[in-house]
Chains A and B, each alone.
Chain A
Amino acid sequence: MSALLLRAENLGKSYPAIGHAGGRLRAMLQILAGRALASGSGVQVLRDVNLSVHAGQSIGIIGENGAGKSTLLKLFSGVIMPSSGSIERHGSMAALIELSAGFDQELSGMDNIFLKTALMGMSRRQTRQHLDAIIEFADIGDALWQPVKTYSSGMVVRLGFAIVAIQNPQLLMTDEVLAVGDESFQRKCIAWLDNYLAHGGTLLMVSHSTYQIKRLCPQTIWIHDHKVAMQGDSDRVINAYLDWHAEKQRQNEQPAQRAMNPEHYQVLSMQLLDARQQVVQEIRSGQALSIEMRLSTPDGRQPVAGFGIIDRGGLPVYGVASSNVANAGEQLSEQEWRYRVEFADLPLLPGSYTVRSHVLDPEGLRVCDSLETRLAVTGSTLELGSVRLQHKWQ
């Protein structure tokens, strides 16, 4: 295992319920006496975080707003003290936390370069040696001579990132840095990060862009409700995270309307089968999958079957009915039909989907009943969207 850069054990943080002066005085006396602050009081923003970061790792941190991601980075970088647990740090580190990146708002960008590098332990002479590189990377033109308070958030981040970039720290922590930069700056940052990681750099990146995390971090931690909900391979963690969002979204929506004529034609059952005819809920992207449904018909006539696939955002991916297909369906009994549709190599990209089966009247005009089930598609990819389109690079 490569060198340990950071280790957190049972890390927790609660902010004191500040309000009355007596509480502040008591807290001060407690700190002076060397006693731990009572962590029961106040707002718990993070608890029980265990994490080791070794040189060369690249770890993404995802989670809802307010989950505690930024607090975690602040704890790691030493801006705030943990309320419980411990942090062990080795080697040099730099952090770009929140958008202002630790600038003095009244000073010009140029003065802030010297301020920030001084804070990072560089002398003025060392800074001057790197000055051109910083200015070129930031690329904010004459704004360099204006006070930072006049900067847009994108410009602030440009400057902040440029200063960190020349430090080349062993461990770099960034918090939503790429989110505010424009396209060309994002590209520049990602190119820099690629190079940084390729040369043994270590990255802890908070981002809401799951694409960027997948792109840069093989490992991801999902912070949920002030603690680590999941940590491991980025694909797995990010899928779980997105599923959770989809679920939350679904709960907020009205329950879908049931079929208009339930006593008429009905979907009796639906199963997803893999290539070995095993019932599955999960399949690897690109493998064979079948949907099998059994439909009931009250009058003995052959009902029309349909299916639809919906992605986690609720967008239809694909759907079709058996209306004009000859020889579709197999009659099991007077009142029961079985339909089966097979995808030789499922072109869905990794993610979670909903598969719906429908039964339509024999004329194929009305949807009489529906049934749905979840399908998880696994795999690892950098492709975007829901479906892999056949294509060829030329």
Chain B
Amino acid sequence: MDLALFQRQYRKDLTDQSKNTLAGSLWLLIEPAIMLLVYSFVFSVIFTARAGSGHDSPFIVYLAVMMWPWFAFSQALSRSLSVLDENMGLMRKMALDKHALVAARVCSVFTLQSLAYLLVLLVLLVLTGGVDFTRIWIVLLSVLQLLLAALGLAYLFSALAVFVRDIKLAMPMLIMLMFFCSPIIWTVEMIPQQYRHLLDYNPLTHVATAVRGALLQGETLLSGGWWWNWLLAAVLLLLGWWVFSRLAPWFEEYA
């Protein structure tokens, strides 16, 4: 991969989003913070949901620790779909390494969201004292899982979307579906017993369990599924890279 292009594109993506906006980089926090407030109001006040067993932290904390990893993952997916279109002008005039464009987009989204995540965790620590940093490495590894998977999916879908436009329209729906199918805003305990085993098939469940276990319960809850996630991420990455490499030389004529 073209590292010079990656660096340059990465730097540009980091600053581009907030360029020429009044609130600047605050936007990074505004949207998730508002969603966090809305969800926690709806769930803890209206539905009177409580964090599941073993969690004595307020629901908003339970929500927040998984919200930002999810934001990183989902935004990397949705924003990587447009990266080829954005640079099409360039691609039509110059031979360049298109892998670097997608990788830079995914990495920049994860960088920004990780920074916001860290900030939120620190605020929660100060406000509630219920955040345990001793097992932060589990959180880092879990986010890395998400990053690798997102990168693989970004390669895959951004390449496919050049040929099959429907993907761009379907992606927001898929992301929403995935959001509601994962224990991010709800707890495993809310699911009827007979359906709970289905959750094991969602890789995000294992990420959520590991992250919450580390940050909120101070425990190392690495399920078998969490370990399998590494394999899944590797497979996605290889598949995405392969498909992208195959299709990349033809983007210019089908875009």
Contacts and interface: CB of A to CB of B under 8 A. Distances in A.
A16 B93 contact: no
A24 B252 CA distance: 13
Contact of B90 (A34, A104, A124): A104
A96 to B, nearest CB: 9
B92 A79 contact: yes
Given A24-B164, A25-B163, A79-B95, A104 B253 contact: no
Given A15-B253, A81-B249, A81-B250, A122 B4 contact: yes
A219 to B, nearest CB: 24
Interface residues of A, number: 33
A302 B93 CA distance: 69
A102 B5 contact: no
Contacts of B253: 15-16, 18, 80
Contact of B91 (A16, A79, A98, A115): A79
A101 interface: yes
A28 B160 contact: yes
A376 to B, nearest CB: 40
Given A79-B91, A104-B89, A114-B8, A119 B164 contact: no
Nearest to B164: A25
Contacts of B96: 119
A27 B94 contact: no
Nearest to A80: B252
B220 interface: no
Nearest to B166: A21
A122 B96 CA distance: 13
A123 interface: yes
A97 B93 contact: yes
Contacts of A31: 246-247, 250
A1 interface: no
B91 to A, nearest CB: 7
Contacts of B249: 80-81
Of the candidates B4, B7, B89, B92, the one having the most CB atoms from chain A within 10 angstroms of its own CB is B4
Contact of B93 (A21, A81, A101): A101
A18 B94 CA distance: 22
Contacts of B188: none
A334 to B, nearest CB: 74
B155 to A, nearest CB: 13
B94 A79 contact: yes
B199 interface: no
Contact of B95 (A15, A78, A105, A123): A78
B33 interface: no
B70 to A, nearest CB: 30
B93 A98 contact: yes
A315 B35 CA distance: 77
B36 interface: no
A31 B92 CA distance: 19
Contacts of A21: 164-166
Interface of A: 15-16, 18, 21, 24-25, 27-28, 31-32, 34, 77-81, 95, 97-98, 100-105, 114-115, 118-119, 121-124
15 contacts: A18-B253, A21-B164, A24-B165, A27-B250, A28-B247, A31-B246, A77-B95, A78-B95, A80-B252, A95-B94, A102-B90, A102-B93, A115-B8, A118-B5, A118-B8
The 5 A-B pairs at the shortest CB distance, nearest first, are namely: A78-B95, A102-B93, A28-B163, A118-B8, A102-B94
